[in-house]
Amino acid sequence: MKGCVYGKLKRFSALILAILFLVATLIGIGSTKVSKVSGATKKSFVEFNFENKLVAPFKTSGKSMTLKIDSTTAAEGTFSLLASGRKQIDDGVLLDVTNIIDYSNEYTITLYVYHKSSKLQRFVVSSEIETKSGKENKPLCEKVIMPNSWKKLDASLNLTELKGIKKVWLKVYVPTSTTNFYVDLFTLKVSESSNLIKFESFEDKSIAGFVPQDKKCKLSVTKEKAYQGTYSIKFQQTAKKQNTAVTLPVKGTFEKGKSYSISFYVYQPILKSLNLAVGVRFLENGKNTKEIVLGKVTVPKNKWTEVFASYTPSLDSKIKDFLIFIRPLSEISYYYFDNFTISDDGWYSAVPDLDLPSLSEKYKNYFKVGVAVPYKALTNPVDVALIKRHFNSITAENEMKPEALEPYEGTFNFSIADEYLNFCKKNNIAIRGHTLVWHQQTPSWFFQHPQTGEKLTNSEKDKKILLERLKKYIQTVVSRYKGRIYAWDVVNEAIDENQPDGFRRSEWFNILGPEYIEKAFIYTHQADPNALLFYNDYSTENPVKREYIYKLIKGLKEKGVPIHGIGLQCHISVSWPSVEEVEKTIKLFSSIPGIKIHVTEIDISVAKEFGEDIDEETKRYLLIQQARKLKDLFDVFKKYKNVVTSVSFWGLKDDYSWLKGDFPLLFDKDYQPKFAFWSLIDPSVVPEE
Ligand code: GLA
């Protein structure tokens, strides 16, 4: 029901927008093509697609630079704008929008860019605003772009608060080199109206790009009927028993993962009812391939009827060329359609760029690159696509902890954990087990008397109960996944450097003493002799804590306890610890014969010291520091590639992180790669300042 009402609301708002747009077009304040733009009128929507072969109104900012229309490549259509002869890295393409935009509205700016240089380049869109008090430059969007592929830049421009504006320029440039670059489909839209992509009312007497599927039918603009205004399109077919489609090429309009609505009105005066299908057909090299029917509608006689469908191109679709088709399913000689609208659904579902270089591929000769994810990520196709692109190891964020696997004594719940294993198997991704023995997220029944419910003590009888539970838990869990989990965090966070003996006073310790640690390793090894077994901890760079961990693991190893590695959680920040301290830790731990290192939970906090309200400039500065630090850390990990065999991030993207309001990961909430990501791929595109 809710969906239905929502659908109606959406349709209603699309209709309202369509009407507003129609009115705006008629009175001359809106235009879909700049060729129709006249001089100083403020616009709510302007598009420069360069198909009119005009460079103007674009200008160069560098003296030696040239701008020309080029047909080598285009984001859509045949032509794009080529910027060449740049001498300075800030030489770029300028667009004077002083007389185009209405300052009382916020604008969404989108443009497509392309370059052919041999390396990655960072593109910037900035505004240059002149007011009475001087000129100010502000970056609106920064994005790293790979060669030979058109990519979209998005920015927004909000001048609503600014007084005394004299001039407003937009500038596109590439601060990472003087490479030539191309620009296409440069659009400016008032943000509120940005969900209307196409509206055709045929009032300009053109058939607006619609094509009949074959020669036995024809399309014409007619006055015979109209849903609104004066004109509509009449579809006629001459051959009998033929149901030919009307098609509309919409190349480049549909972005993967985003949801679109298609709506139009149909009228037919012939049949009692006409069944009509609307859908999309994919084209490859100009040829029709498969089609998807998005909706079917029954159009009664003599009644304008709305046809409504929605479409979300799937993320793994490689297809960029689409046709929308309208096909009668009943035999009919003619019908009319009007007010054809394509709009995005208002809620933009951000998507990752799956063409980015793969992180795990980049480091395949060094170590695995992993990620910890909540189960919801495995059920979200967008997250899955990103995970598959960049990571070859997975850790369940919480779903394989004792409270998830054995919430009540003897009641094991493996359904979600099994899903992780299935996912990893299906996608050929390795999985780390996290974590068997920990003082947190372990149900309290472990430490309570089975009959009385009282707290267990360190009496021999109680020790036996807990040890049995430990053994049973480990045997059940580890043997279930035997041979399928490459590494287990067997014991997590057992050291507390503030205790005189360095042992955390957990319930495990209080009841069993330090013995629980070696027992856990022994039981795990018995259950899966091939799994690598790790001791895992945070703040391993604290010299006092580091020493305790070193002594503990060295001692266990010398005793013959089956332990194969130490996990450095690496929940760190831009300011602590230093990269040198991380290196010292790796050096010290790996000096124990037979000990490998996994970086198990890396994230780099930036906002901790500043709070959530950091301004954009400070945030950008900190994100650059974060990227630098991560790069330096990875250099150390690479240096120790013989001992560092796996590096996992604690989260896929910033808004999934346990560090709420911080920005500790590689991707932002909209799946966009941050400087931190690029620092691991090509640090030269990370800004210096
Ligand atoms: C520790 C644990 C992880 C996780 C993080 C914070 O590092 O090992 O399982 O709980 O804290 O989310």
DSSP secondary structure code for residue 446 in this structure: G
In sequence order, the 6+-apart residues with CB closer than 8 A to the CB of 26 are 203
283 vs 249: CA distance, rounded Å = 10
* Six token digits for residue 327: 């096909």
In sequence order, the 6+-apart residues with CB closer than 8 A to the CB of 275 are 296, 297, 298, 299, 328, 329, 330
Virtual CA dihedral for 369, 375, 379, 385, nearest 10 degrees? -10
**Residue pair 266/273 in contact by the 8 Å Cβ criterion:** no
pLDDT digits (tens, 9 = 90+) for 555-589: 999 999 999 999 999 999 999 999 999 999 999 99
> How many angstroms separate the alpha carbon of residue 319 from the centre of ligand 1?
41
Do 41 and 138 reside in the same domain of the chain?
yes
Domain boundary among 344, 376, 398: 344
Indicate if the pLDDT at residue 454 is higher than 70.
Answer: yes
Q: Give the rounded percent of residues in the chain with a pLDDT score beyond 70.
A: 91
311 vs 315: CA distance, rounded Å = 12
CATH code: domain of residue 165: 2.60.120.260
Do 395 and 338 reside in the same domain of the chain?
no
Question: How would residue 331 be classed by pLDDT, with cut points 50, 70 and 90?
Answer: confident
> How many angstroms separate the alpha carbon of residue 574 from the centre of ligand 1?
19
State the chain's mean pLDDT as an integer: 89
**CA distances (Å), 462 to each of 436, 457, 459, in order?**
20, 6, 5
> How many angstroms separate the alpha carbon of residue 535 from the centre of ligand 1?
14
514 vs 311: CA distance, rounded Å = 59
**Residue pair 122/684 in contact by the 8 Å Cβ criterion:** no
Do 194 and 241 reside in the same domain of the chain?
no
457 vs 511: CA distance, rounded Å = 6
Q: Which of 23-37, 142-156, 218-232, 321-335 has the weakest average pLDDT?
A: 23-37
659 vs 329: CA distance, rounded Å = 55
Please indicate whether residue 657, judged by its CB atom, sits closer than 6 Å to ligand 1.
no
Residue at token pair 């994100």: 623
> How many angstroms separate the alpha carbon of residue 218 from the centre of ligand 1?
66
Domain boundary among 311, 344, 377: 344
Do 288 and 184 reside in the same domain of the chain?
no
Do 410 and 501 reside in the same domain of the chain?
yes
- State the closest ligand 1 atom to the C-alpha of 441, by its place in the atom list counted from 1: 10
Please indicate whether residue 395, judged by its CB atom, sits closer than 6 Å to ligand 1.
no
In a domain, 385, yes or no: yes
Please indicate whether residue 658, judged by its CB atom, sits closer than 6 Å to ligand 1.
yes
DSSP secondary structure code for residue 101 in this structure: S
pLDDT digits (tens, 9 = 90+) for 99-126: 999 998 899 999 999 999 999 999 999 9
Residue at token pair 């099994």: 418
In one-letter notation, the amino acid at residue 41 is T
Please indicate whether residue 423, judged by its CB atom, sits closer than 6 Å to ligand 1.
no
In sequence order, the 6+-apart residues with CB closer than 8 A to the CB of 98 are 165, 166, 167, 168, 169
* Six token digits for residue 249: 């090429």
> How many angstroms separate the alpha carbon of residue 64 from the centre of ligand 1?
56
Do 189 and 233 reside in the same domain of the chain?
no
Instruction: Please identify which of the residues 601, 612, 616, 688 carries the catalytic annotation.
Output: 601
DSSP string computed for 225-253: --SSSS-EEEEEE-SSS--PPEEEE-TTT
> How many angstroms separate the alpha carbon of residue 625 from the centre of ligand 1?
24
In a domain, 609, yes or no: no
What pLDDT is attached to residue 318? 67
Do 386 and 479 reside in the same domain of the chain?
yes
In a domain, 218, yes or no: yes
DSSP string computed for 593-656: TT-EEEEEEEEEESSTTT-TT--HHHHHHHHHHHHHHHHHHHHHHHHTTTTEEEEEES-SSGGG
Between 296 and 302, the higher pLDDT residue: 302
**Residue closest by Cα to atom 6 of ligand 1:** 658
Please indicate whether residue 348, judged by its CB atom, sits closer than 6 Å to ligand 1.
no
User: For the chain, what is the domain count?
Assistant: 3
Do 490 and 537 reside in the same domain of the chain?
yes
34 vs 51: CA distance, rounded Å = 10
In a domain, 674, yes or no: no
> How many angstroms separate the alpha carbon of residue 80 from the centre of ligand 1?
50
In a domain, 61, yes or no: yes
What pLDDT is attached to residue 241? 66
Peptide bond into 57 cis (omega under 30): yes
Please indicate whether residue 682, judged by its CB atom, sits closer than 6 Å to ligand 1.
no
Indicate if the pLDDT at residue 185 is higher than 90.
Answer: yes
> How many angstroms separate the alpha carbon of residue 650 from the centre of ligand 1?
8
Between 316 and 300, the higher pLDDT residue: 300
In a domain, 652, yes or no: no
Indicate if the pLDDT at residue 319 is higher than 70.
Answer: no
* Six token digits for residue 629: 């630090």
Please indicate whether residue 538, judged by its CB atom, sits closer than 6 Å to ligand 1.
yes
What pLDDT is attached to residue 244? 82
- State the closest ligand 1 atom to the C-alpha of 434, by its place in the atom list counted from 1: 9
Indicate if the pLDDT at residue 381 is higher than 80.
Answer: no
Indicate if the pLDDT at residue 395 is higher than 60.
Answer: yes
Q: Which residues pair with 323 in a beta bridge?
A: 249, 281
> How many angstroms separate the alpha carbon of residue 516 from the centre of ligand 1?
20
**CA nearest 24: which of 42, 10, 7, 9?**
42
Domain boundary among 162, 180, 200: 200
Question: How would residue 383 be classed by pLDDT, with cut points 50, 70 and 90?
Answer: confident
> How many angstroms separate the alpha carbon of residue 435 from the centre of ligand 1?
9
Q: Which of 329-333, 572-576, 610-614 ranks highest by mean pLDDT?
A: 572-576
Indicate if the pLDDT at residue 336 is higher than 80.
Answer: yes
Do 422 and 565 reside in the same domain of the chain?
yes
Residue 374: half-sphere exposure toward Cβ, Cα within 13 Å? 7
Best residue for ligand 1 mutational test, from 439, 599, 601 (most atoms within 8 Å of Cβ) = 601
Indicate if the pLDDT at residue 251 is higher than 80.
Answer: no
- State the closest ligand 1 atom to the C-alpha of 401, by its place in the atom list counted from 1: 9
Domain limits at 48?
Answer: 33-200
In a domain, 664, yes or no: no
135 vs 468: CA distance, rounded Å = 74
* Six token digits for residue 146: 């790979």
Best residue for ligand 1 mutational test, from 395, 399, 569 (most atoms within 8 Å of Cβ) = 569
pLDDT digits (tens, 9 = 90+) for 256-274: 767 788 999 999 999 998 9
79 vs 93: CA distance, rounded Å = 16
**Residue pair 293/328 in contact by the 8 Å Cβ criterion:** no
Do 161 and 251 reside in the same domain of the chain?
no
> How many angstroms separate the alpha carbon of residue 427 from the centre of ligand 1?
25
- State the closest ligand 1 atom to the C-alpha of 658, by its place in the atom list counted from 1: 12
**CA distances (Å), 391 to each of 399, 429, 676, in order?**
19, 8, 15
**Residue pair 382/257 in contact by the 8 Å Cβ criterion:** yes
Q: Which residues pair with 265 in a beta bridge?
A: 306, 338
In a domain, 687, yes or no: no
386 vs 570: CA distance, rounded Å = 22
Please indicate whether residue 540, judged by its CB atom, sits closer than 6 Å to ligand 1.
no
Please indicate whether residue 601, judged by its CB atom, sits closer than 6 Å to ligand 1.
yes
608 vs 561: CA distance, rounded Å = 39
> How many angstroms separate the alpha carbon of residue 376 from the centre of ligand 1?
17
pTM for the full model? 0.74
Interstrand relation of 393-396 and 430-437 (parallel, antiparallel or unpaired): parallel
**Residue closest by Cα to atom 12 of ligand 1:** 658
Please indicate whether residue 569, judged by its CB atom, sits closer than 6 Å to ligand 1.
yes
- Residue 399 appears among annotated catalytic residues: no
Do 152 and 292 reside in the same domain of the chain?
no
User: 147-179 burial string, b = 16+ CB within 10 Å, else e?
Assistant: eeebbebebebebeeeeeeeebbbbbbbbbbbb
Tell me the Ramachandran region of residue 64: left when phi exceeds 0, alpha when psi lies from -120 to 50, beta otherwise. Answer: alpha
**Residue pair 492/569 in contact by the 8 Å Cβ criterion:** no
Alpha-carbon 35 to chain mean position: 35
653 vs 390: CA distance, rounded Å = 12
- State the closest ligand 1 atom to the C-alpha of 538, by its place in the atom list counted from 1: 7
Do 163 and 289 reside in the same domain of the chain?
no
Indicate if the pLDDT at residue 4 is higher than 50.
Answer: no
**Residue closest by Cα to atom 3 of ligand 1:** 397
Please indicate whether residue 492, judged by its CB atom, sits closer than 6 Å to ligand 1.
yes
